[in-house]
Amino acid sequence: MKRRDFIKFSMFLSAGSFVGRTFAGEKDLKPNFIFFLADDLGWGDLGCYGHPKVKTPNIDRLARQGTSFTSFYVNSPVCSPTRAGIMTGQFPSRHGFHTQIFGNPRRVKEMKIAEYLDPDVVLLPRILKRAGYETAHIGKWHLAFHGGTSPPRPEQYGIDFSRTIEFDKDKIGTGWKEHRSSECFADQALEFLKQRDKEKPFLMQLWFNDPHNPYYPTNEHLKAYPKMPANDKMTKYWAIITEMDKQIGRILDKVEQDGISRNTYIIFSSDNGPGDPSDLSANEIAALGSAGPFRGTKGSLYEGGVRTPFIVACPGKVPAGRIDEKTQISGVDLLPTFCSLAQASLPENYKSDGQDMSEAFAGKVQQRSKPLMWFYPIRYRAATINQSPVLSILDGDWKLLTNPNDSRTELFKLDTDLTETDNLVNQYPDVTKRLKSQLLNWYRSLPANTIEPGAGELTFPWPGEKWDAVTESLDN
């Protein structure tokens, strides 16, 4: 698919209106940051990103007030490493975050993955705290496994106000059936905004559980889809997104009421692509999100697994109603970008894998100077077409995927092939060689790891054959 097929914008977004200066009378404070991160929401799962049915009026409002990026990349197709990439500004595999943290000690050892994020590395909240910020983290954490072990608590990462679903102290809900997690998280966020030190700028991370399955939306939000059967899983999926959206609306209202809109960057994104409906390895299978036009879902290195919505708003600082289709932004860019906006200097010797993209926030198309790289060594247990190799690199419009054992190599040119179906390896041997070499060098620099049998390969059981690996993992 060619990008030009898409470039037909409706007029529902207002024309960009960019005011570059702060208004007289506003305190020249460092800016605040509110960072909403959804869980397993796909690139295509928002009204403002083109979903024809799902209702997200508050996130759409944010998009009208700010800028939406169509090429935002998280640094992993699954939860924990994406979060580690945001927190550290470095590719998560550098920290042993090859996949999400889970509670099976045998498997953690086998896969050689970290059990928690090292609290002594350079971290976004700690840098901002040192720069005078008050910091809060509310909701999902998932930077440690917390069953039976005693991993570091959020305050060890530079968090002042923590309300997570994971730690006994300050614990809030479990996020699923027993609690309406998004509402519960928003309550805590409002509490933070009320009690915070008004003399200080703040960073508030609000990381949702929604719309990760299972879905337990309220009747109120199921009724938002009157033409859909209420007990259909798709209805529930859309309703739980609408529920999260409503809670985001409460925060947006509060920011406006407090008069801090023009000094508060509000960001919305998601941690990875949507769960795949036929993912046989999931605890509660069959998530139902949309990856938009892209190949791949959660767990795949194709675009649909790692490309997520990214909206940033800050009236007066970020152009309103703009859609940036040119600038590639990534999770690892957020630390240097936020620090730049906060005029917080980065520690000596610290090297981010990302870069300061604050000019893109301000409305300028920004060219990356650094490629993005991914490593994800877990077997994909859903639609074969979405099984990607375990390594990938994105350099401008070129994207190359490969396996360390050289079993597959694919080269795509995203500006003319958004769906990643036209493998150009044979047409562009020089580009292939250059990117592959760069990617494999990076892979060899990573901490020890294990590639799960079958990961990165196109495999599927054939008549007469059972897919034992899946059966085993499901029986565990």
- Under the rule (CB under 8 A), what is the footprint of a copy of itself? 1, 5-10, 12-13, 44, 47-53, 63, 68, 70, 214, 227-229, 232-234, 277-278, 280, 284-286, 288, 290-295, 323, 383-385, 419, 421-423, 457-468, 470-471, 474-475
Q: Which residues contact 388 (CB under 8 A, 6 or more apart)?
A: 296, 300, 301, 302, 305, 376, 380, 401, 456
Q: Are 27 and 264 in contact (CB under 8 A)?
A: no
Closest contact distance (angstroms) between CB of 419 and a copy of itself is 6
In 3-state terms, what secondary structure has residue 204?
A: strand
Beta bridge partners of 267: 35, 312
Q: In terms of CB distance, is 46 or 127 closer to a copy of itself? A: 46
At residue 257, what are phi and psi to the nearest 5 degrees? -60, -40
Q: In terms of CB distance, is 150 or 462 closer to a copy of itself? A: 462
Q: In terms of CB distance, is 250 or 408 closer to a copy of itself? A: 408
Closest contact distance (angstroms) between CB of 56 and a copy of itself is 12
- Give the torsion sign (CA, 198, 334, 44, 3): positive
Q: In terms of CB distance, is 84 or 267 closer to a copy of itself? A: 267
Q: Are 31 and 342 in contact (CB under 8 A)?
A: yes
Q: In terms of CB distance, is 157 or 225 closer to a copy of itself? A: 225
Q: Which residues contact 284 (CB under 8 A, 6 or more apart)?
A: 213, 214
214 cis-preceded (ω within 30 degrees of 0): yes
Q: In terms of CB distance, is 171 or 177 closer to a copy of itself? A: 177
Q: In terms of CB distance, is 57 or 152 closer to a copy of itself? A: 57
Closest contact distance (angstroms) between CB of 278 and a copy of itself is 6
The DSSP secondary-structure symbol of 455 reads: T
Closest contact distance (angstroms) between CB of 460 and a copy of itself is 4
Closest contact distance (angstroms) between CB of 450 and a copy of itself is 22
CB burial string 42-74: b at 16+ within 10 A, e below: bbbbbbbbebeebbbebbbbbbbbbbbbbbbbb
Helices (H), 151-310: 181-195, 219-222, 233-257, 303-306
Closest contact distance (angstroms) between CB of 413 and a copy of itself is 13
Distances (CA, A) of 157 to 141, 154, 420: 12, 5, 38
Closest contact distance (angstroms) between CB of 106 and a copy of itself is 20
